[in-house]
Chain A
Amino acid sequence: MDKFLIGVQAACSLSSLFFIAVGVVAGILGGAMPGINASITTALLLPFTYRMGPTQALMLLVGVYIGVQYGGSIPAILIGTPGTPSAGATLLDGYPLRQQGKAGTALYTALSASTIGNLISGIVLILVALPVAKMALSFGPAEYFSLGVLGLTLIAGLTEKNVVKGILAGALGLFLSTIGIDQFLGMPRFAFGSLDLAQGIDLVPAMMGLFAMGMMLQDFFKPVHLDSVNEKIKLTPLSGKEFKQILPTSAFSGLLGTVIGALPGAGAAIASYIAYNQVKQFSKHPEKFGTGCIEGIAASEASNNGVTGGALIPMLGLGIPGSGTTAVILSALVIHGVRPGPNLFISQPEIPYGIFIAVFIGTFFMFVFGLLYTRMFVKIVMLPQPLLNAAIIAIVLTGAYAVDRDIFNLYLVLGLGVISFILRQFKVPITPMVLGMVLGEIVEASMRRALAISLGDWSTFFTRPISAGLMILALVMLVWTLYRSYRTPKTKKTEEAAVASTASN
């Protein structure tokens, strides 16, 4: 219990509070810029931390980490481009809401869900960090593969109208993820001699190209005038009813995000899609997802913020960085002479417990600043469309450059944008493609590793308990999805009529 108090003491000193706040402010901003994600923002701020003590450095970095995951939802909702890959699922319902003039609702949902997700991951952190860390160790390649497969079943869930095209998009995405150096071969695949392609297609420019650039090309092609919609944007926070609606979803997704975050190697993007899928399939009205359903936003945002706390678990408990950002935090610790691991909890408890408390404080700040930021960002969206388009294109290109200052990324953004545009003309959905890219590596590499370990024995995916469980779950989800999509035609029409009559609020 006194460790808890030590943590509180550490995290609540004035300087700690200040740094957490600064971190959150910078983080939200960083997350909101497409191209700048959590690792980059944390890495950028790292030099500032050299002069500080380890606790304060940590406070800053944790604040950034928390802020970024929320920040990514802002452009996802407002301009249809995720600010960080983890917000990819947020735009599925966020952007349609914005097109209906309800950007405010979407943003507040994102904020609330992010807050709940953080709180849940904070609670899990405090109560069961070490046991969860140890449990995460039992996830081997076979389990990661099955997790990836589970994620892929989302494709069926997203594209009920035309599953074939969805699968095609998914396959294309998976193909794109194979471009680059193959870990097993040590040689590049599908690079066609280009040194740049040999390094693979980075997720950030890919998302920006597929989502943003594609949308921009489409908008120049066939401008959509949202001015009439913009006049109706409301800034009212969520109603009590809406809040109650997203609460269970957020709680569940937050927990899911925390668990997935604790698995080194599974990141926020994966978590957000899986949570979205689970929530959608278990919901009473799955067909509403994708058209502007706030539970969709809640699922995605709560889980990607849950990952924040989750990823701190292996980092603090085992000394393994679970994600790029935690790796930066880990390096900050090491530079200050701190070595994470179970011993840390005993020898220097103010560090892990301080971090836990910092998560809660950071969440509080995130909520407060989020409210302020939201009002600001919504006003931006009410600018005239041509201006917005030009600005978006400029932001996206700048962001793509900021990732690693390689011009090739900009070509990728443009190229993928063209591909996305062409696919849109053929009514091939883009989200499964992005899903394929996100999951491609974890699926293929884990599969091959698992087979290497099992010496070519394919049954390993079904004989290992966790893996088998996940595969069965994936199968169940698939069957359930298909069943629902065939069942709805008759009942759908009566439901649609009912929905239409209540939609005019």
Chain B
Amino acid sequence: MVKSKDLWLGIFCLLGGTALYFYSSNYDNFSYDVVGGGGFPRLLAIIIFACGLLIGAEVFFKRKNTTESKKAPGNYGAAIKMFVSVLVYIMILTHVGYVVSTLALTAVLLYIQNVKDIKKLALYSVVIVAALYLLFRVVLAVKLPTGILI
């Protein structure tokens, strides 16, 4: 079995395209026009499906290149931690308030990137948040969320 990422991509396209094609028929009623609500998505579904076929075909016809240069594996941990931090940030933003949340976020993000010195963490975070606050709230008059804290 060719263990190529592209094969998964191809399969995804085949499945996704098919799903899209059939789901689009939900939108065919009540329309003024020839194409209908489902026409364009169906066309896209066909294109995606076709791409899936082509990508899959490429995988099988270019077997010589299965020796993809073994690149160093990426740091999934860091990426996941970043994702979680941003997710949490979004969830608490309106409850806790902009300034505090963003301070926390920047500190955490710096920490994930191996900035462990408390002083640096504090300084960088404060500078970033102050600058953003100044720019958005003061200069551009955008109302930033204020929750329990500011």
Contacts and interface: CB of A to CB of B under 8 A. Distances in A.
B33 A448 contact: yes
Interface residues of A, number: 62
Contact of B34 (A213, A222, A451): A451
A387 B87 contact: no
B2 interface: no
B5 A426 contact: yes
Given A172-B48, A222-B75, A398-B132, A182 B37 contact: yes
Contacts of B74: 221-222
Given A41-B140, A398-B136, A418-B83, A411 B75 contact: no
Contacts of A402: 136, 140, 142
A178 interface: yes
A175 interface: yes
A434 interface: no
A135 interface: no
A393 B37 contact: no
B33 A220 contact: no
B31 A184 contact: yes
The dominant DSSP class at the B interface is helix
Given A41-B140, A428-B9, A397 B89 contact: yes
- Size band of the interface chain B makes with A: 35 or more
Contacts of B13: 168
A437 interface: no
Given A33-B136, A390-B109, A217 B79 contact: yes
B139 interface: yes
A421 B79 contact: yes
B113 A221 contact: no
A44 B5 contact: no
Given A164-B58, A185-B37, A44 B86 contact: no
A370 B125 CA distance: 28
Interface string B12-49: 01000000100100010011111111011100100110
A266 interface: no
B33 A184 contact: yes
A278 B95 CA distance: 48
A220 B44 contact: no
A456 B35 CA distance: 8
Contact of B41 (A178, A410, A414): A178
A153 interface: no
Contacts of A399: 136
B115 to A, nearest CB: 5
B55 A165 contact: yes
B109 A451 contact: no
B106 A390 contact: yes
B51 interface: yes
B78 interface: yes
B13 to A, nearest CB: 6
The dominant DSSP class at the A interface is helix
A36 B140 contact: yes
A224 to B, nearest CB: 12
Contacts of B135: 29, 33
A186 B54 CA distance: 36
Contacts of A167: 47, 51
A223 B40 CA distance: 40
Contact of B109 (A26, A393, A448, A449): A393
B110 interface: yes
Nearest to B102: A394
Interface in A393-422: 393-395, 397-399, 401-402, 405, 407, 410-411, 414, 418, 421
A174 B124 contact: no
B122 interface: no
B141 interface: yes
Nearest to B30: A185
A448 B79 contact: no
Contacts of A216: 82
A171 B110 contact: no
Interface string B47-72: 11001001100100000000000001
A465 interface: no
B146 to A, nearest CB: 12
A30 B47 contact: no
Contacts of B128: 387, 390-391, 394
Interface string A338-369: 00000000000000000000000000000000
A448 B98 CA distance: 43
10 contacts: A168-B48, A189-B41, A221-B74, A390-B109, A390-B113, A391-B128, A402-B140, A426-B9, A451-B33, A456-B34
Interface of A: 26, 29-30, 33, 36, 41, 44, 164-165, 167-168, 171-172, 174-175, 178, 182, 184-187, 189-190, 213, 216-217, 220-223, 385-387, 389-391, 393-395, 397-399, 401-402, 405, 407, 410-411, 414, 418, 421, 425-428, 444, 447-449, 451-452, 456
